[in-house]
Amino acid sequence: MENLELSAYLRSLVIGTETQVPITGGQFVPAINFDNAATTPPFVSVMKGITNFAPWYSSIHRGKGYKSRMTSNIYEEGRHIIGDFVKADPSKDVIIYTKNTTESINMLAYIMSEEHKGKVILSTEMEHLANDLPWRDKFLVDYVSVDEKGYLSLDDLEFKLKKYRGKVHLVAVTGASNVTGYINPYYEIAKMTHKYGAKILLDGAQLVPHVLVDMKPFASDEHIDYLVFSAHKMYAPFGVGVLVGPKETFEKTQPVYKGGGDVRLVSKDFIEWDLPPFKNEAGTPNIMGVMALIDAIKTLNRTDLNKIHEYENGLIHYAMDKLKKIPGVSLYGYSSDNQPKVALVSFTIEDIPHNMIAEILSRHSGIAIRDGLFCAHTYVQRLLNLTGQELNYYRTHPDVTLPGMIRISFGLYNNYEEINRFIEVIYKIAGNKRQYVQKYKKYVID
């Protein structure tokens, strides 16, 4: 049952919830954003914080002026706030600011390749491309399989850890899938990984905005060695990501980006790099992005992520229960065995292309969703049971629409009324396929 008071409060935290958008026929309707797994709108507190800080904006670590010192202090204090948020170890971990999760993983892959070339990286069949492609040209990469439901196979993980006999350096795994929303048992994965002498990287892009993540102490078998996530998925715009990991990883290796800010002293004959995290943040830092993330974390802490997760779970289960009753709809990410999830689910409607459904929802009702392969090609292909022959056909026919799904993903500000509007439109589409296809095919370019 919807908690109206909580729903109204959560909705008040976010900017743009009542924005009107145009639909077919020239009307305007309140926009419904069910594409939060891609990017969330900003918190009111974040934008107020940015406005209040703007008069004090200055360079970081470069000047002795009051504004510069103040800006630098805020920038460094942000590391402590982020570290506390994910329970990193302030004495052993380093927190590096990046552009996003993708850059964080690419940076780690380059740095690790300096010392661990020839080692094995275990990725999984359910990863976002950001946690797959960066490893491919630097290591031997193998993939932990998923089963027919889309769950990660821990048996296969252990099999592969044994198979490579100590050569696995890292298990790179998503905390929560951006296709099904399934939350992986990352503490169990960490224990297994450490048992075989490897480390774990947790892609927290879809997890950290919804669930309290504890990296656990270094001495714990459940310790998360590396954690990455993005501000733009947790109500903080301006482009900041985070890479958290042990200082020793970054102390001996060269930085990926080289230039001002990452050195202590340089001559024509030598380069003395600064200590991490400074050596890994060349150039002028993105203080506005850091400010946004800090304010977002403070708002999430005040609101209680456990309550948010419970509320969002109510939304997604309500939506899934409605969707599964619609003829022709196939759900991916719906389970009857209480598999932990974040608030997203993917589906298809028989005989209607995914990109056309997205167009209909947007143009007919002002509802924004995501369609396609969600940058998780291997996982979607597995869930859709696509054969090698079919994939080769799509590869050799660039004029044909690629296969894919429709994804809805909720933020803390979404509510049951929006879901009801969405379900009403899906019922109409599923019950009048020919009519909708005929009307909207002009908007879909194969």
Residues 212 and 327 in one domain: no
Residues 411 and 334 in one domain: yes
pLDDT, one tens digit per residue, over 300-328 is: 999 999 999 999 999 999 999 999 999 99
Question: Of 281, 301, 321, which one is at a domain's C-terminal end?
Answer: 301
Number of domain units in the chain? 2
Domain that holds residue 367: 4-41+304-443
Q: Is the pLDDT score of 444 beyond 80?
A: no
How far is residue 28 from each of residues 35, 220, 364, 424, measured CA to CA in Å? Answer: 20, 54, 10, 18
The answer to whether the beta carbons of residues 191 and 213 sit under 8 Å apart is no
Residues 284 and 311 in one domain: no
Residues 296 and 165 in one domain: yes
SS3 letters across the chain? CCCHHHHHHHHHCECCCCCEEECCCCCEEECEECECCCCCCCEHHHHHHHHHHHHHCCCCCCCCCHHHHHHHHHHHHHHHHHHHHHCCCCCCEEEEEECCHHHHHHHHHHHHHHHHCCCEEEEECCCCHHHCHHHHCCCEEEEECECCCCCECHHHHHHHHHHCCCCEEEEEEECECCCCCEECCHHHHHHHHHHCCCEEEEECCCCCCCCCCCCCCCCCCCCCCEEEEEHHHCCCCCCCEEEEEEHHHHHCCCCCCCCCCCEEEECCCCEEECCCCHHHCCCCCCHHHHHHHHHHHHHHHHHCHHHHHHHHHHHHHHHHHHHCCCCCEEEECCCCCCCCECCEEEEEECCECHHHHHHHHHHHHCEECEEECCCCHHHHHHHCCCCHHHHHHHHHCCCCCCCCEEEEECCCCCCHHHHHHHHHHHHHHHHCHHHHHHHHHHHCCC
Name the average pLDDT for the chain: 95
40 HSE (CA, 13 A, CB side): 29
Q: Is the pLDDT score of 170 beyond 90?
A: yes
More confident residue, 166 or 408: 408
Residues 245 and 157 in one domain: yes
**Rounded to 5 degrees, what angle do the CA atoms 355, 319, 175 make?**
80
Tell me what pLDDT residue 63 has.
83
Tell me what pLDDT residue 445 has.
58
pLDDT, one tens digit per residue, over 30-54 is: 999 999 999 999 999 999 999 999 9
Q: Is the pLDDT score of 188 beyond 60?
A: yes
CATH number, position 256:
3.40.640.10
Residues 296 and 312 in one domain: no
Residues 297 and 358 in one domain: no
Over residues 111-134, the mean pLDDT reads 95
Question: Of 253, 281, 301, which one is at a domain's C-terminal end?
Answer: 301
Tell me what pLDDT residue 423 has.
98
Torsion angle, alpha carbons of 84, 55, 41, 205, to 10? -30
Burial state string for 35-55 with b = 16 or more CB within 10 A and e = fewer than 16: bbbbebbbbbbbbebbeebee
pLDDT, one tens digit per residue, over 142-162 is: 999 999 999 999 999 999 999
Cross-strand partners of 144: 124
pLDDT, one tens digit per residue, over 323-367 is: 999 999 999 998 777 889 999 999 999 999 999 999 999 999 999
Q: How confident is the model at residue 84 (pLDDT cuts 50, 70, 90)?
A: very high
Residues 196 and 320 in one domain: no
Q: Is the pLDDT score of 2 beyond 70?
A: no
Residues 123 and 220 in one domain: yes
Q: Is the pLDDT score of 441 beyond 90?
A: no
pLDDT, one tens digit per residue, over 219-255 is: 999 999 999 999 999 999 999 999 999 999 999 899 9
pTM score of the predicted model: 0.96
Tell me what pLDDT residue 442 has.
79
Q: How confident is the model at residue 111 (pLDDT cuts 50, 70, 90)?
A: very high
Amino acid at 287: I
CATH number, position 404:
3.90.1150.10
Residues 11 and 100 in one domain: no
Question: Of 257, 278, 301, which one is at a domain's C-terminal end?
Answer: 301
Residues 337 and 350 in one domain: yes
Share of the chain above pLDDT 90, in %: 91
Residues 284 and 161 in one domain: yes
- At 289, list the tokens: 């992005």
